[in-house]
Amino acid sequence: MKRVTGIGGIFFKCKDVDKVKAWYEKHLGLIMDDYGSLFVSDSHDQQSKQYLQWSPFPENTTYFQPSDQSYMINYRVADLTALVDILRAEKVTILDEIQSFDYGKFVHILDIEGRKIELWEPNDETFNDPSYSKTT
């Protein structure tokens, strides 16, 4: 079974989210929304697009806990339920239950050094629907 299929997001802590977003928008041309910037690229199979979310978080966010790192990476996976079963059998720390949203399923794990990792099984049908807007 294929486990990780790509990077789904890069999340990091910063002192001032609005200033960081404005700097990246002005100097690097990132298009911002409430969450940061969404990158869209063609997938390897050329059947759908892939999405990578770039998001600054306030430095006092608790979203990355129990990790004390200033960043968290979101990995795309093909079958989250099956992967979680495999990871449990391999004694990987699973932090929460799988949550489902219209844009996909999520769960959080810890790596061997205690870094929190977000696993995401995207609902590419939702993202590839022209009427879908993440901000609505």
SS (H, E, C) the chain: CCCEEEEEEEEEEECCHHHHHHHHHHHHCCCCECCEEEEEEECCCCCCEEEEEEEEEECCCCCCCCCCCCEEEEEEECCHHHHHHHHHHCCCCECCCCEEECCEEEEEEECCCCCEEEEEEECHHHHHCCCCCCCC
User: Is residue 34 in some structural domain?
Assistant: yes
Per-residue pLDDT tens over the stretch 13-30? 999 999 999 999 999 899
Residue 136 in any domain: the answer is: no
pLDDT band at 123 (very low <50, low <70, confident <90, very high): confident
Residue with tokens 């968290």: 72
Q: Is 122 within a domain?
A: yes
Query: The CATH number of the domain where 26 resides is what?
Result: 3.10.180.10
pTM summary value: 0.82
Range of the domain at 85: 4-128
Q: For the chain, what is the domain count?
A: 1
pLDDT of residue 2: 86
Q: Confirm whether 91 is domain-assigned.
A: yes
In this structure, is residue 21 part of a structural domain? yes
Q: Is residue 133 one of the residues assigned to a domain?
A: no
